[in-house]
Structure 1
């Protein structure tokens, strides 16, 4: 990491009002906002060729997230989901022919669910109430794939309860996902057609947000099994063996994602060890892979903006980073993209 020592020339007792230089320039360049026109948008992922993104966004006239695609070269968002229900966690298939996402649009009481949320949001607006962020584990949420050529929507999960947070393996044969079908949110893995479902974790507490490693051997995820609502990053083999905690602190660590070609994992984290409201930033860890596990290594802080930075993902070639941030003029959550430089590639 390059360091600026310009202040060293000043006298020791000379006061300075200069703000410390941001660390972001060591890793990020050409930072730009790529979504707008929505109440909020986030959790974006790249298409296999890196030219298009898929993400979730709350449109102006509907209370729940819907799924959209958008070319990075410019253009209007295209609705992928049905336009109703809660949706989340969209992901391109490796052949770019399908998009995987979770949706509750089959809720038999969909109209009542929508009306209740609209009424709650209106009451909050009138009272000036800002609700604490809380993810809704909607029991009618299932995983679907949409064929981008035909538009056909295929339901992959049918179990009672929340099935979501899915992502394809690099070869497209497997999907890792979260489900509370057994009464507790755990990790599962299934074939791409929804068959051959296998449970990977069974610890008390939430296990979710899984992604399969580029070599297909490991699944990285977040869990609050150590302390409720205080997430840590874990990794487990696709066979359910060799589970390892990669973080262990007094904080919230979530949204881990693999670098596509180098041994790094990026995630969002905040320190909760001190009083007050902590800020979320992006963190990068180098790891070592052995025959029986993933061993955590050195950690770098990637962002230090006063805004919240969460849900980071790499482009397929690892040269760009996309994440969700409130570093917008109106402080709404939107997607940002930047050119990315690994610590090992820094100019000395």
Structure 2
């Protein structure tokens, strides 16, 4: 029997050896050769992916594209600075990503990270995961034909985590320009930037719904470090929490054709270090609300499974996982099957 959750509780029911076969088939690893890789997104035709990866010769994530049919990664970012959150424009003419390559002290920043990694290697220290809200991070759009890189944000502070809406006219993103990370929306050329959330704590990782009316995001406003999933209208109205549990719920993503949201989550209600798995929620949309519904657990590997995204046709799922031979984070893809309502 598939483990089912309400939107407020992590279930502790007994499980079979694995539940993944009910939802995922033809699971395969699609990145290799990098120190680590992850947060991948599909091109509009579903034939190429864009992702962030740490190359062997550099300490920070860079942005790459790669055809799913095979082939070598192509560097999209400048090769320097911290980068993250790359996303194809719906017309496939541009790739948007965040980068700190304009940091005036970039050389010092790089040297400090290299020195820290070397010290960690010598001491055998494994640093706990944490995200650096680099204040020199801005959002850029790269023209894939000309190679021109255009800044879309120039405000002081961290601007990143951007995603286009379906028709490519709007971008939702995260910014801490006022001292606290919040959700913003802007036109695709960077104009008309508007703040949507203003709660204390981190609001980030926004994605606009397929119909263009809603933004799903993660927030630790309830308790610092414990993320929950929220939705808000693109007009800043009708904000609603979709999860409410003692855990971390992050990286939510809309299914492109059916009323489901997928995300990564871990139960922190018990002592110890919990494992991250993928969870799927069916929702109901009304005129002024997204209402949470039944939740299914999609993965149960001993490895960490995070940052899930659907292909444009909704038939494939891609995510970041440590289910590799060397336990490094890499991208995996599988064919996706919806749950049966009685599971």
TM-score (norm 1): 0.94
Cα distance in 1 for partners of 2:255, 2:171 equals: 18
Matched, 1:192 2:191: no
SS at match of 1:195: coil
Query: 1:305-337 CA distances to partner (integer Å, 9 max, x unpaired)?
Result: 000000000000000000000000000000000
Matched, 1:272 2:279: no
* CA positional deviation for 1:71: 0.1
Query: 1:123-158 CA distances to partner (integer Å, 9 max, x unpaired)?
Result: 000001111111000000000000000000000000
Q: Match of 2:140?
A: 144
Q: Match of 1:80?
A: 76
Matched, 1:225 2:221: yes
Q: Which runs of 5+ in 2 are unaligned?
A: 4-14
Q: Match of 1:343?
A: 339
* 1:116-131 aligned within 5 A: 116-131=112-127
Matched, 1:36 2:29: no
Query: 1:45-91 CA distances to partner (integer Å, 9 max, x unpaired)?
Result: 00000000000000000000000000000000000000000000000
Cα distance in 1 for partners of 2:253, 2:238 equals: 19
Query: 1:187-243 CA distances to partner (integer Å, 9 max, x unpaired)?
Result: 000000000001000000000000000000000000000000000000000000000
* 1:1-348 aligned within 5 A: 20-344=16-340
Change (3 A) 1:2 1:40: closer
SS at match of 2:110: helix
Q: Which has the higher contact order (CA 8 A, sep 6+)?
A: 2
Cα distance in 2 for partners of 1:320, 1:228 equals: 33
* CA positional deviation for 1:21: 2.6
SS at match of 2:120: helix
SS at match of 2:139: strand
SS at match of 2:238: coil
Contact 2:36 2:53 (C-alpha < 8 Å) held by counterparts: yes
Contact 2:238 2:289 (C-alpha < 8 Å) held by counterparts: yes
* CA positional deviation for 1:2: 7.9
Cα distance in 2 for partners of 1:132, 1:40 equals: 15
* CA positional deviation for 1:343: 1.1
SS at match of 2:227: strand
TM-score (norm 2): 0.95
* CA positional deviation for 1:20: 3.3
Cα distance in 2 for partners of 1:262, 1:318 equals: 8
Q: Match of 1:14?
A: none
* CA positional deviation for 1:344: 4.1
Moved beyond 2 Å, runs of 4+ = none
* CA positional deviation for 1:177: 0.1
SS at match of 1:61: coil
* CA positional deviation for 1:104: 0.0
Cα distance in 2 for partners of 1:183, 1:111 equals: 25
